[in-house]
Amino acid sequence: MTAFPIPDWNAAGLLPPVDPRAPTSLARSPYRMALTELVLRFAHSPERRAVLEGFFAYRAALHAAGLIQGFQWLNGSFLEHIELLEQRPPNDLDLVTFFQFPTGLSPGDLMARHPHLVPISAEAQDHQKATYRVDAYLVDLAMPPERLVERAAYWYSLWSHRRNGAWKGYLAVDLAPTDDAAARSELAKLNSQRSNP
């Protein structure tokens, strides 16, 4: 994925899915963003910072399980100007993690050792949302190409619209933990500044 500047929310309070001045250019959703940029751009309220803290805890759990290669697509009300659209803060962050299994870790091992990362029941998914403030899904990049394209197309088509049919964009971040410490530090700094005016 090539990095392009992330557009501002449009008049509808959404990230535009494409550059309206050049609708066939490569500047389109999912927009690649560094984690520190994500914090600086979207952590402008205590509720949003709490969602990001949960997201970083979820990433830390993925990394502890050995999942460090791949990328994540981020979406949901967190990326919308939901405070204006629905007069409420975002509750969580929707995300899909496209990952590569590390050597020696099988899908069965992942489910047995880290069941909180692969919730297979509604109760487990509710627990994941409460613990990490994410509505998270996993896609194995080693699946057969036809199936991988099918899964990517599913998420793209689901996430490129709001339920009311309005087109919207979303973000992509690298799964590797290289930027996590700096982003978490920036988030802690914002929390400290907001609590000590």
pLDDT of residue 1: 45
pTM of the model: 0.92
User: What's residue 108's pLDDT?
Assistant: 86
Residue-level pLDDT at 196: 58
> Residue 137 forms beta bridges with which residues?
96
Token code pair at residue 174: 């690298």
Q: Where are the alpha helices (DSSP H) in 65-121?
A: 82-85, 107-113
Which uninterrupted H or E stretch holds 98? strand 93-99
What end-to-end distance do the CA atoms of the chain give, in Å? 39
Residue-wise pLDDT tens digits, 82-116: 999 999 999 999 999 999 998 888 888 888 888 88
Q: Where are the domains of the chain?
A: 31-195
Q: What is the pLDDT of residue 115?
A: 84
Over the chain (197 residues), the average pLDDT of each successive run of 10 is 74 90 86 94 95 97 95 96 95 96 87 85 88 95 96 94 91 96 95 71
Exposure string of 16-36, with b = 16+ CB inside 10 Å and e = fewer, is bbbeeeeeeeebbbbbebebb
